[in-house]
Amino acid sequence: MSEKILLAVVGPTGIGKTALGIQLAKHFNTEIISADSRQFFKEMEIGTAVPSKDELEAVPHHFIQHKSIFESYSVGDFEKEALSLLDGLFQKKDMVVMVGGSGLYVDAVISGLDEFPEVDPEIRSRLNQQLEDEGLQSLQKELKQKDPDYYKSVDLENPHRLIRALEVCIASGKPFSSFLDKPRAARPFKSFYIGIDASRETIYERINTRVDLMMEAGLLKEAENLYANKDLNALQTVGYKELFEYIEGNCTLEFAISEIKKNTRRFAKRQLTWLRKNETILWVPYNAEPEEVLRMVTDRLKTNLYA
């Protein structure tokens, strides 16, 4: 194989991307790049479903727990580091597997980041103050008015994403979504998306089970250890925010767990909304036999139908 190919395994949270990524990496004798923005941080293990020790040892993984929550790390940083790593990996491999539920991070490596206008820091400061004074719903409502299209796909529980979209809307006078999906960046490799599919009922059932297993594994203790740093960007995420509310005495543990499940289901729905826009994805059933998936992937590779 003369051309270099990046296989991107995508799909909703809890659907089995790690397992499929490992199967593909073993079959093609290659390595895995993680594009899960929550798994970058070494202090967040249980709540981000970091691959197990056995899984990490099965094939080489990159970008797993390589940063601290105290470090600033953006999607732009990830794009640069991932492309640099790929340059090295493609010196010895014809194919590399990328696994992740963070669509923005996957697309950044494959297509490049969209360019946005410069924003006056005062706008961001004002929005941060709005978040503190009026809460997340205030930002959600404003984004729905200013950019209803992006409102439908963004993680509405992520204040960092909401503020980023709103500051661009305010600074430019245009919807944030109008700056998205520009012509893709040239890459020295071809990309191929593999999506794992299942019914909504199956996805939600797997999410509920995973949250229960996380709690059994000690997620509450992990959240308690991180509570002092709860305002850091890395911790503004499902699984921790809800338990911080419990730790502060604002709800029962049972309610916090139910909120984690509900918000994770919402997150999975938004992931699928993002992915369904990509018509190049090869969708495979979540419960397909490994041999069948490999056959589907191999057949698609022969067609030269890439992202």
Ordered DSSP codes for 216-247: HHTHHHHHHHHGGGTTSGGG-STTTHHHHHHH
* 209 annotated ligand binder: no
* 17 annotated ligand binder: yes
* 15 annotated ligand binder: yes
- DSSP letter string over 124-171? HHHHHHHHHHH-HHHHHHHHHHH-HHHHHHS-TT-HHHHHHHHHHHHH
Q: Give the confidence band of 247 by pLDDT, cuts at 50, 70, 90.
A: very high
User: At CB < 8 A and 24+ separation, what contacts does 211-220 make?
Assistant: 211/239, 211/257, 211/260, 211/261, 211/264, 212/257, 214/46, 214/47, 214/49, 214/239, 215/257, 217/46, 218/46, 219/46, 219/47, 219/243, 220/246, 220/253
Q: Give the confidence band of 300 by pLDDT, cuts at 50, 70, 90.
A: confident
Chain length of the chain: 307
Amino acid in the structure at residue 249: G
Q: Which two tokens mark 247?
A: 């730790």
Q: Where in the chain is the domain with CATH 1.10.20.140?
A: 121-179
Q: Which two tokens mark 280?
A: 């190049």
**C-alpha 253, offset from chain centre:** 26
> Given a cut of 90, is residue 183 above it in pLDDT?
no
Quote the CA–CA distance of 17 and 12 in Å, as a whole number.
Answer: 9
Give, as one character, the DSSP assignment of residue 65: S
Amino acid in the structure at residue 149: D
User: Burial code of 192-215, b = ≥16 C-beta within 10 A, e = fewer?
Assistant: bbbbbbbeeebbbebbbebbeebb
Q: Give the confidence band of 274 by pLDDT, cuts at 50, 70, 90.
A: confident
Q: Which residues pair with 5 in a beta bridge?
A: 95, 190
Q: What fold, for 121-179?
A: Histone, subunit A (1.10.20)
Mean pLDDT, residues 29-49 taken together? 95
Pick the CATH number of 5-114+182-303 from 1.10.10.10, 3.40.430.10, 3.40.50.1100, 3.40.50.300: 3.40.50.300
> Given a cut of 60, is residue 291 above it in pLDDT?
yes
* 101 annotated ligand binder: no
Q: Which two tokens mark 27?
A: 């079959």
Three-state DSSP state, 61: strand
Q: Which residue has the higher pLDDT, 153 or 260?
A: 260
Q: Give the confidence band of 15 by pLDDT, cuts at 50, 70, 90.
A: very high
Give, as one character, the DSSP assignment of residue 15: S
Q: Where in the chain is the domain with CATH 3.40.50.300?
A: 5-114+182-303
Q: Give the confidence band of 281 by pLDDT, cuts at 50, 70, 90.
A: very high
Q: Phi, psi at residue 97, to the nearest 5°?
A: -105, 130
Quote the CA–CA distance of 38 and 135 in Å, as a whole number.
Answer: 23
Quote the CA–CA distance of 37 and 40 in Å, as a whole number.
Answer: 6
State the pLDDT at residue 233.
84
State the pLDDT at residue 305.
61
Lowest-confidence region among 48-62, 238-252, 270-284: 270-284
Amino acid in the structure at residue 113: L
Q: Give the confidence band of 301 by pLDDT, cuts at 50, 70, 90.
A: confident
* 159 annotated ligand binder: no
> Given a cut of 60, is residue 280 above it in pLDDT?
yes
Quote the CA–CA distance of 285 and 288 in Å, as a whole number.
Answer: 5
Quote the CA–CA distance of 287 and 19 in Å, as a whole number.
Answer: 11
Share of residues in the chain with pLDDT > 70 (%): 97
- Summarize pLDDT for 228-240 with one digit per residue, the tens: 999 888 998 999 9
